[in-house]
Amino acid sequence: MKTTDLSDLTGQVAIVTGAARGIGLATAQLLAEAGASVALLDVDGETAQREVEKIGGKAAAWACDVASEKAVESVFAEVVKRFGRLDLLVNNAGVAVRKPAVELSMEEWRRVLDLNLGGVFLCSRVAARAMGPRGGAIVNLASIMGFSGGIFPNASYQAAKGGVVNLTRALALEWADRKIRVNAVAPTFVKTDLTVPIFSNPEVLAKVHAHTPLGVLPEVGDIAAAILYLASPAARCITGITLPVDSGYLAR
């Protein structure tokens, strides 16, 4: 395989969930630059559509709640009808409720698990059916919190992301004979809408930097680049792994 072919996604079709902003948007943009046609899915369909207009003709947007089985099945069918196939799925949509576990309601617990873990399973299941005999690649967004107890209370998020890590392994094994690779990326703290409370709190941010050996936190583009790698032909023999992009956080 030529070096120039390693990240070439020409002719492939990708779905990115939670794609209206942050890591999801950066990933959608990078996949499009690599040649893929990209479906941007987000509960905020209007913002996703505005971003599509910037990406250009190889992209389209749909409003979609990834925790809804009916919505996922309907939208994925529309994507396949629009582009003719499905090759790649990036499960990025997520939510966090940061509070002590003793104050966490069951409604909040279920919301985080339903979206961050249930949504990954649901979208992956529908995508695997749509990919057919050609196979494809799925990249899940896990987190360093899937491996760590964390530096502040966030039990539901940590439980969900730990589930994503092991779900990634399970699906990689189950779907290997379908030629579907399943991997995950585990970012450290990245500045997005979801992490505003962290990056706006000097005391909390100081704790984050104290656990970051390289001394620099990744940006959304760094996470998107790791996702592109796992989705691309460069990673054709890689499945079942979760790749930390954490500036050394988990090495401690």
157 in catalytic set: yes
- Name the active-site residue from 157, 175, 189, 249: 157
Q: Compute the C-alpha angle 136/78/42, nearest 5°.
A: 80
Distance CA 200, CA 166 (A): 32
Q: Residue 210 class from Cβ within 10 Å (0-12 exposed, 13-18 middle, 19+ buried)? A: exposed
Contact criterion met (CB below 8 Å) for 140 and 240: no
180: left (phi over 0), alpha (psi -120 to 50) or beta: beta
DSSP for 10-49 reads TT-EEEEESTTSHHHHHHHHHHHHTT-EEEEEES-HHHHH
SS3 at position 244: strand
Q: Catalytic residues, which ones?
A: 157
